[in-house]
Amino acid sequence: MLSRVADSVYWMNRYVERAENVARFVDVNLNLLLDMPDGADQPWAPLVATTGDDAWFREKYGAPTRENVLHFLTFDAEYGSSILSCLRAARENARSVREIISSEMWEQVNKAFLTVSAAAARPGVLDTPHDFYSEVKLAAHLFVGITYITMTHNEAWHFGRLGRLLERADKTSRIVDVKYFLLLPDAHDVGTPWDELQWVSLLKSASALEMYRKRFGRIEPARVVEFLLLDRKFQRSILYCATKAERSLHAITGSTPETAATSAERALGRLRGELEYGDIREIVGGGLHEYLDGFQDRLNHVGDAIHETFFAPRPVGETSSDAPAQ
């Protein structure tokens, strides 16, 4: 497979996943505001913190008001991770590999972009935004389902799944970090109804509330964190994403799970191993924010290794020293 094609399929899926995640946690935050106690600060700044682009936002918008944050995350064409920008980038990547993906995949990603683009030009669409964000989430879910049932599960499909799962793991880690580190700086709030409401909103942000309740019942912060980080079966937990991403990586290289033929496999294998043998008491005891900050650095390293192994351009005749055999 050409590295250009693999790169486009990988990023097409990452961008669709990113757009869906942004729509989800914005929508959950809007619903959270309806249940906030009187006098509580409106939590718009943490939404920006979730992106990791606080400095860029402050330089362009200043105060994190409702209007500023919603426009920044939804329709800002200059911000590369807004919903509009993500779907535009996903469509451009899909356009470049139309001979590889199914026609239904192309139609779905094109339709999603045109829907959001039309909404961006419609005044007042974010005055009542729940229907809009629900439509974005549904469009992303349809794309994933269409990809699963209409595309041969070959090398290209695995590059797509690899990108989607790494993006999902990154976003799950960020929403957990924001809740634990930013939303409740006052220890007096811990254990209050407002505290529980925020943990519920965190689970909703990862579409995890129902599955968590089926397994554990009561909301307990340590169990919420463990579920989102280390659960082996929930599809948005970080461990689940890392495990399935590693399987796709081995499918691409043709190596066995017991071997690591490339730097990408070694980096992702180490990360998956740390999660698989992680202990939530040690993680929380050592500082959850510090752990998640380190995880995001290691996940970025995995992304860099994947780029260097599979996508980075090289002079004619030169190959990566650990590139998989063709």
Per-position DSSP letters for 182-228, written without gaps between them: II---GGGTTSHHHHHHHHHHHHHTT-HHHHHHHH-S--HHHHHHHH
What percentage of residues in the chain have a pLDDT greater than 70? 89
Render pLDDT for 264-292 as a digit per residue (tens, 0 to 9): 999 999 999 999 999 999 998 888 989 99
Would you place residue 179 in the very low, low, confident or very high pLDDT band (cuts 50, 70, 90)? confident
* Phi and psi at residue 259, to the nearest 5°: -120, 165
Cα 145 off chain centre by: 17
With CA atoms as reference, report the closest residue to 87 among 114, 105, 123, 124. 114
Give the separation between CA 128 and CA 266, rounded to whole angstroms.
Answer: 47
User: Looking at the whole model, is its pTM more than 0.85?
Assistant: yes
Q: What is the mean pLDDT of residues 114-120?
A: 96
* Burial of residue 40 (number of CB atoms within 10 Å: 0-12, 13-18, 19+): exposed
Token pair listed for 96 = 């470049």
Give the separation between CA 45 and CA 181, rounded to whole angstroms.
Answer: 13
pLDDT of residue 201: 83
* Phi and psi at residue 261, to the nearest 5°: -85, -15
Q: Which residue has the tokens 């960020």?
A: 174
Assess whether pLDDT exceeds 80 at residue 81.
yes
Give the separation between CA 30 and CA 147, rounded to whole angstroms.
Answer: 30
Residue type, 326: Q
Q: What is the mean pLDDT of residues 115-121?
A: 95
Which tops the pLDDT comparison, 128 or 211?
211
What are the boundaries of each domain within the chain? 1-151, 154-314
The set of residues, in sequence order, having a beta carbon less than 8 Å from that of 211 and lying 6+ positions away, is 227, 234
The mean-pLDDT minimum among 86-90, 157-161, 205-209, 298-302 falls in 205-209
Would you place residue 15 in the very low, low, confident or very high pLDDT band (cuts 50, 70, 90)? very high
CB 283 within 8 A of CB 229: yes
Would you place residue 186 in the very low, low, confident or very high pLDDT band (cuts 50, 70, 90)? low
Give the separation between CA 276 and CA 280, rounded to whole angstroms.
Answer: 11
CB 110 within 8 A of CB 40: no
CB 78 within 8 A of CB 71: no
pLDDT of residue 191: 56
Q: What is the mean pLDDT of residues 235-256?
A: 96
* Phi and psi at residue 180, to the nearest 5°: -75, -30
Assess whether pLDDT exceeds 80 at residue 195.
no
Q: Which residue has the tokens 């407002």?
A: 194
The set of residues, in sequence order, having a beta carbon less than 8 Å from that of 137 and lying 6+ positions away, is 20, 23, 24, 27
With CA atoms as reference, report the closest residue to 136 among 116, 164, 107. 116
CB 163 within 8 A of CB 6: no
Q: What is the mean pLDDT of residues 302-319?
A: 80
The mean-pLDDT minimum among 51-60, 137-146, 161-170 falls in 51-60
The mean-pLDDT minimum among 198-202, 245-249, 273-277 falls in 198-202
Q: What is the mean pLDDT of the chain?
A: 89
